[in-house]
Structure 1
Amino acid sequence: MKDENTKEREEHIIELVSSFCDDNLNDEYKELCIKLVKKLARKHDVPFKRGKVEIWASAIVYAIGQINFLFDKSFEPYKTPDDICSYFNTKKSTVSNKAHDIREMCDLGHFDEEFSTCDTMESLPTFTFDENGFMVAHTPMDDYLDEAYELFDDGKIDEAISMLDDIDKDNHEYEKALFFKSFFLNASGTKDKSSEAFNAFLSEFNENVDIKSIVNGEIDENNPEELFQEALFHNNIGNYDKAIHYYDLYLKILPNQTEVLNKKANVLIELKEYKEALDVIDKALKIDSKNDELWTTKGITLYQLHKNKKSMKCLDKALKINPNNSTALSQKGIIYFERNQYKSAIKCYDKAIEIDPEEIILYTNLANMYMDLDDNEKVEKCFSEAEKINPKDIGLLCEKGEYFLMEERFEEAIECYDKCLEIDSKNVDALLHKSMALAQLDREDDFEECMAKIMMINPLLLADLEEEFR
């Protein structure tokens, strides 16, 4: 039985959520929020018997809003997380974490039968049949993205991008919206942090590619070219399981395509499925034993399996076929360095840079080697050379910041991480290391602000960060 204090807190939270819904939402949202308060009140250990009631009230509205697309402008009603937190005078990072806890406690998700609005349930994917007789899902968000694409197609790029910017990160189609935005920006000649990756992605396709059909998954599964393009799309946005799926469909049709086998092996390496990757690359080598890229992939895979001698043999075979294979050279350099054969390692990297002087990662890897050798002059020379290529490369800025951290040059480290965050304000690695530098300088307010940003982006880092700064 609930004690009097818990009952009073329950009633207070109900008053708060009701007030917000009356002022900002509707009766349906109010009923759902009250129902959620009462469900939490029935827990054996009532969670809201501790903590500020304003935080609990805002988190309850937040949790209900998340599963009903409240933060998505394509839905009505629409409110932002800031609207909720401003109303209750609470911090968004705290509320977001609490809402996550509530969803976990009550097993809440999109299209929840108990806590979904009528509009949300009506937006459940509908299913139609395509011309090949396959069942295809369709959601209101598909219409929204179609509308954005049509604006782009009509030359109204700013309006199209504005529509995509209105999609909140809690939306289940957020990643797809980001990809559309990257495509629009690149196609219009505007460069953002995704330009390099996106252009590398596009360079692998032929000139007749329909990006929209790739993003929406509208492909003919009997067409190897479309399957390959779909696999590349998922590969480049990090959906590795889907990439494997489409590579496999391709290979059922054309099983002896070594390029596709090699790409599949590299995805398996990303997934840390090294033995499977080795099986795939061995199959490719039986088809074409004179392919230096295949030997390089096998060498990298064996390295990951801690078989460095065998790895070196494969890399040597790759370089015998193609002495200008900079990837094979850099991998050899890593193995030499681990063997304490520093001169050979540096020689490999110098040669790789000579072959591929625009590859920034070669300079940062070489800088890391010189760090281990305590040769700071050469470390900074490597960073300087890399900056001539692209001073705004996030990987370079993070590596340079970490170097300054190690050297206890905290102000310079912070400067590097601030440059990273100007390019990508949600870069957790930059925020985390900036926090470390701020802590060393006893800049408590800036440190707390940085930590709050990290929590907003990835609440699961809390335990690790507490351990880091304990």
Structure 2
Amino acid sequence: MRLVILMFLAFASFTVVAQEKIQKEINYIRSFRKEPGRIVVELGVKPRLCFVPTKSNPNYVKFNALLQSYQKKENLYEIGIEEQTGHIKTLRILNRSETAENQSIKPFFPAAVAAVSASQFPKKYYDEALELYNKKQYQEAIETVTKSIEINTQDPEYHQLKALCLAGLGQYKDSTDEAEYALEMDRANPELYELIANNYYFLRDNENAIKNYEKAIEYDINIIVRIYHNYIKCLIDIPSPQRAIEVYKLYKYRLDSPNNYGDDSGNLADDLEFYAGQAYQQIADFRTAAEIYDRLIVVHPNVYGYRAQRGRLYQEKGELPAAIRDFEIALKLDENENILLTNLATIYQELHDYKKAEAAYNEYLIKNPDDAVQTSNYGYLLLDEGHYKEAQAKFEASFKTDDKSIDTHIGRILSAYLLGDSRKKNIFITAAKSQFPEIEINAATLNALIITGNYYYSEKIIEIWKEALN
């Protein structure tokens, strides 16, 4: 019996031929499928798709013949892939000595067989523990499944359940140790790799999270939607959008397989699509991102997250009226997610509708008075309007909450300058230099901060800053 896990999160050798932009690697081939105009090839290690085009390809017949033997477990390939297109440019089967040198790349095929126990008690305790786990009674579940383990230490499912319970208690390191013990008995279990990856994700160890998510999708044969959902979420958080898109395309390819036993229905599959949309948005493929968000909103018009993210997409594209519509609808769907008020404030400021921008900031800050960042942003709005005294008050309020924001220091300097208070301006400049020795406080500071991608200042503010520092 396979344990069904209800969890939500949400290395090959490489050689690059720079002149031709071809990446060579040693890998095994998990599957291939003929489609109009091409053969789609699914690689095993770091799973992804690459292609053999049929048109104007002198290697098509040769590569097609070589691919036919992919199911032989002993076969490993050297594959040269064009980086930009994913087209296979070179392909050969490794000889015996080369294969021996790359044994670690081959997957584990045999499924684990648990040691048989003469007693019925381990199974009984396991079933009781599973019921407790599903009720989120994790400590009681651990105590119960431990009885199973004491009688039969060689059943990986018992250790897997214990690892899940430990993760449920937030004991991620202990959970990983338990899951790795289970892996010694069942090395081809994708859910164990996923569990370990989730633990590392929660520990903010992205390197090890990715390593184990890669193993999870390598060994997944049942299209467990949750695995792809969690991995893509991890990748957009890093962010690593290109790999997120590769994993998304792999997921869609596997779903379309004639041997697919997966299920792409339900909220988890919809959220997977949503995260894929964010990955496309991160690489500025706004068209594909919009298509995904549009599909989701048609099916689920009352989901806050889908509507809010499409609004952010419109805002990023500069389609401000459409962004306003989506933000206003999203705020009605979930009044607690009032951060969107700051998006509206930013848009209204850009449209020079200062009254609406102020109203949005005021409504947000009434509910979130300790948000130093947005208090400071409100200060910049007031500077734009020419309300220097009020702006200074906002920057001082922000500074009291958080004195380690360069943005707030800059606001204090600007407001003092605009109010004609040279003494305060110089005091604030000295304080900023002391707080941020790594940042040069001079006429070019704002442009330097903008280049980092983490800050934005209007042309008006930039010009005032240059005047203040010269």
TM-score scaled by length of structure 1: 0.47
TM-score scaled by length of structure 2: 0.47
Instruction: Identify, as 1 or 2, the structure richer in strand.
Output: 2
Rg comparison, structure with higher value: 2
